[in-house]
Structure 1
Amino acid sequence: MPKKILVIGGTRFFGKLLVQRLLRAGHQVTIATRGYAPDPFGNRIARVRVDRRNESAMRAAFQDARFDVVYDQMCYSPLDAAISARVFGGKVGRYVMTSTLDVYRALPAQNAPFNEDALQILAQPIDAAYPWHDPALANDCYVAGKIQAEAYLLRDGSLPLVSVRLAHVLGGPDDYTGRLAHYVDLVRARTPLRYTHARARTSFIEAQEAANFLAWAGAQEFLGAVNAADDGALSAYELHARVGQALDEPARVRKAGADESGPFSPFDLATPLVLDTARAKALGYPVKQTDDWIGDAIRQHDLAYV
């Protein structure tokens, strides 16, 4: 049955892919952005131009609106979460927040994958006085901001919350992060990868699959946190080797010395950061394998190098 859906964000990377899937499924889609980035959707969607960090603007934009599902791609702090709760409380059937595997960085390192219950989200402190919206602090406060955003929404309870803790998203022509391209460039230039721990693996998900997972999560009835990843974690060392295999080039490496500071490349971790996907599987999601797409994603980035 077609639904009325709001996507906060939705003009970049897997957010754009999410909107495409929702449209193909026949839903009525509105995107809310500041209007700076173009989108390819034409008259198939409605658009609201608003700064999601401006509460008065958000209240004015959505005063009389009701949505079956809200996808919030831009909730980065408890201040953002509070705005959502006050603007959309009682007005949405389902609120899907895009979170991240990085929330588990706050926990002691472990060799086993992290399941959703590993992070006691209700026990997390919320710092409303921190300058969350200071652009100069965006990178430094990213992990704490996501954790506290989840914590605020869960404690507030006015929104039917699903927090999708996405693995590192790779692949696709709109991957603006440059993370996978970094390894392609090293291999093509025959420059050694400096690495720290060859077996400190982390989880990945392909961009199309990230959009699929979000679309699926919005159509279900469960609430709470859910990990979203493809099975088959890789370390930076192993990812670099996969690039060499896919491009039929030597993947040179050099272990960093104790006196060298890092990180030396994306995903070069000191300890594993892997997601347990058991809950997603139990809920019926067909979790895929990293091996199914990583080679194609590497070769796609290689085209940009050529």
Structure 2
Amino acid sequence: MSKNILVIGGTRFIGRLLVQRLLHAGHRVTIATRGYAPDPFGERIRRIRADRRNELAMRALAKAGPFDVVVDQMCYSPLDAAIAVRTFAGQVGRYVMTSTIDAYRVLGFDAAGPLAEAALAVEAQPIDTHYPWHDPRRAVECYVAGKVQAEAYLVRDGSLPLVTPRLAHVLGGPEDFTGRLAHYVELARAGATLSYAGEDAQVSFMTGYGAAEFLSWTALQDFTGPVNAACDGALSAYQLYQRVGEVLDTPVRMRRAVPPPEPGRLSPFDVPGKMVLDTSRAKALGYRFGHTDEWLDHTIRQHDLAFV
């Protein structure tokens, strides 16, 4: 059955792919956009110009509904979460806040096994509404804490029919504006040496298309709460760089950093210990993930072509 779906953040990468999937499935889609980025959807969607952090604009956006589902790609802090509550409580059938594997960083990097949703007692996390979350100069440093506290705020409030997909690290082709996989491809082509924290410090991955497919599926279900999403076949930064070298038929050099630095200081996805998602809940609900071996080599080659 066709649903009326609002996507907040639908013009770039995962958001754009999500909108494509929703349209293909026959749903009516509205995107909230600041109007800075173009999109290819023409008259197939409705666009409403709104700044996610402007509460008056968001309330005007809600009046364009009612919406069966809101997929919020732009909820980055407890301040954003508070605006969502005041905007959509009692107004939507389902609120999907896109979260991240990085939420589990608050637990450290010494987990004995894969990270299940219940490992993070998000409702017990502290919330700091006085921190300058919207200061653009702090966007990178406060990303993890902001996502965790946004989840915590929404869970404690309890007024939204909430589901929080915690997505694995997303690897895409040249459309992936993060440049994280491109970093390894460029490093290999330059013949540079990769410093790494640990050979077995694996993290979970998925593709941009996979993330969009999972969000589309999640939007149409009726379960609530956190749910992990990741392909099988986690890799460490060491293993990823090794794979890049194999795919490009280029010898790569690596050296272990002693002592291990702060997470992410050496290269993207480099962490001091494993951070692998347990996807049992999503699988029990009927979703099936693929394996990184099915798409990683192709994605690496896409970046290599763009680099050349």
TM-score using structure 1 length: 0.97
Q: Sort the Cα spacing of 1:295 and 1:36 in 2 relative to 1 into closer, same or farther, 3 A.
A: same
* Displacement after TM superposition at 1:140 (Å): 1.5
- Matched residue, 1:293: 295
SS in 1 for 2:98: strand
In 1, distance between residues paired with 2:60 and 2:11? 22
* Displacement after TM superposition at 1:251 (Å): 1.9
Contact in 2 for aligned 1:167/1:275 (Cα 8 Å): yes
Which stretch of the first structure deviates more once superposed, 23-32 or 122-131?
122-131
Amino acid corresponding to residue 66 of structure 2 in structure 1: R
* Displacement after TM superposition at 1:242 (Å): 0.7
Contact in 2 for aligned 1:6/1:71 (Cα 8 Å): yes
Which stretch of the first structure deviates more once superposed, 250-259 or 54-63?
250-259
In 2, distance between residues paired with 1:104 and 1:214? 19
* Displacement after TM superposition at 1:64 (Å): 5.1
Amino acid corresponding to residue 215 of structure 1 in structure 2: S
Contact in 2 for aligned 1:63/1:87 (Cα 8 Å): no
- Matched residue, 2:208: 207
User: What pairs up with 1:220-235 in 2 under 5 angstroms?
Assistant: 220-235=221-236
SS in 2 for 1:250: coil
User: What pairs up with 1:147-296 in 2 under 5 angstroms?
Assistant: 147-258=148-259, 263-296=265-298
* Displacement after TM superposition at 1:259 (Å): 9.1
SS in 1 for 2:170: strand
Amino acid corresponding to residue 256 of structure 1 in structure 2: A
Measured on the aligned residues, the alpha-carbon RMSD in Å equals: 1.4
* Displacement after TM superposition at 1:257 (Å): 3.9
Contact in 2 for aligned 1:14/1:207 (Cα 8 Å): yes
In 2, distance between residues paired with 1:256 and 1:64? 53
Amino acid corresponding to residue 303 of structure 1 in structure 2: L
In 1, distance between residues paired with 2:117 and 2:183? 30
Contact in 2 for aligned 1:172/1:208 (Cα 8 Å): no
Flag structure 2 segments of 5+ consecutive residues without an equivalent.
none
Which stretch of the first structure deviates more once superposed, 28-37 or 125-134?
125-134
In 1, distance between residues paired with 2:259 and 2:157? 46
Amino acid corresponding to residue 245 of structure 2 in structure 1: G
* Displacement after TM superposition at 1:299 (Å): 0.4
- Matched residue, 1:54: 54
TM-score using structure 2 length: 0.96
Which stretch of the first structure deviates more once superposed, 237-246 or 57-66?
57-66
Contact in 1 for aligned 2:197/2:260 (Cα 8 Å): no
* Displacement after TM superposition at 1:258 (Å): 3.5
Superposition misfits of 4+ residues, deviation over 6 angstroms:
259-262
| Percent identity (aligned) | 65
Flag structure 1 segments of 5+ consecutive residues without an equivalent.
none
Contact in 1 for aligned 2:173/2:300 (Cα 8 Å): no
Q: Sort the Cα spacing of 1:20 and 1:123 in 2 relative to 1 into closer, same or farther, 3 A.
A: same
In 1, distance between residues paired with 2:241 and 2:28? 42
* Displacement after TM superposition at 1:171 (Å): 1.5
Task: Describe the superposition over 1:119-154 as per-residue Cα deviations: whole angstroms up to 9, x where unpaired.
Answer: 011111211111111111111211111111111111
In 2, distance between residues paired with 1:102 and 1:17? 22
In 2, distance between residues paired with 1:172 and 1:304? 9
Aligned residue-pair number:
306
SS in 2 for 1:230: coil
Amino acid corresponding to residue 135 of structure 2 in structure 1: D
Q: Sort the Cα spacing of 1:259 and 1:40 in 2 relative to 1 into closer, same or farther, 3 A.
A: closer
* Displacement after TM superposition at 1:27 (Å): 0.5
Q: Sort the Cα spacing of 1:214 and 1:259 in 2 relative to 1 into closer, same or farther, 3 A.
A: closer
